[in-house]
Amino acid sequence: MSKVPQAKRELCIRRIKEIYDASLTAESSASDKLLFLARYPGVAKIVEDFEYAHLKLIQDSAVDFEKENQIRSKFDKMHYAIKAMYYMLTDTQSIAPVSQTSNPSSKIKLLKISLPQFSGDLALWPSFIALYDTSIHTNQQISAMEKYQYLLASLTGEALNVVKNLPLSADHLIAYDMLRKRYQNKRKLATHYWHSLVNAKPLKMDSANSLRTLLDIFNENTRALQHREHLQLMQFSTESWGFILLNILLDKLTPSLREKFESEYRQTEIPQYSQLIKFLHEYCKVFASMPGSSTTLVKSGDKGARYQNQALKSNASVSSFVTSMTTCLVCNEQHLITKCPRFLKLSAKERHSTAKELKLCLNCLRLGHGVKTCPYLDVSIVSIEAPYTFAF
Instruction: Spell out the domain ranges in the chain.
Output: 1-98, 189-288, 295-382
Task: Choose the most confident range, by mean pLDDT, from 21-30, 274-283, 358-367, 372-381.
Answer: 274-283
Average pLDDT, the chain: 74
Would you say 256 and 385 are in contact if contact means Cβ atoms under 8 Å apart?
yes
Compute the C-alpha angle 351/353/356, nearest 5°.
105
List of residues 6+ apart from 3 with CB closer than 8 A: none
Q: Name the β-bridge partners of 80.
A: none
The type of residue at 56 is K
The 8 Å CB, 24+ separation contacts for 291-300 are: 291/315, 292/318, 293/318, 293/319, 293/322, 294/205, 294/206, 294/207, 295/205, 295/206, 295/383, 296/205, 297/204, 297/205, 300/380
The answer, yes or no, to whether residue 361 has pLDDT greater than 70, is: yes
Range scoring the smallest mean pLDDT among 10-14, 177-181, 307-311, 361-365:
307-311
Mean pLDDT of 325-341: 76
Q: Could you give the C-alpha distances from 375 to 11, 305, 329, 362, 385, in angstroms and in order?
A: 74, 10, 20, 12, 14
**What local confidence, expressed as pLDDT, does residue 390 receive?**
46
DSSP H or E segment with residue 299: strand 295-299
Task: Tell me what the mean pLDDT of segment 311-338 comes to.
Answer: 56
Among 114-118, 129-133, 179-183, 360-364, where is mean pLDDT lowest?
A: 114-118
How far is 62 from 82, CA to CA, in rounded Å?
A: 33
Q: What is the per-residue pLDDT for 170? A: 55
Please state, in angstroms and rounded to a whole number, the distance separating the CA atoms of residues 262 and 258.
Answer: 6
Whether residue 320 is predicted with pLDDT greater than 80 in this model: the reply is no
Query: Stretch 154-161: mean pLDDT, rounded?
Result: 87
Task: Say which amino acid occupies 376.
Answer: Y
Distance CA 213, CA 202 (A): 11
- Per-residue pLDDT, 236: 66
Name the more confident of 324 and 382.
Answer: 324
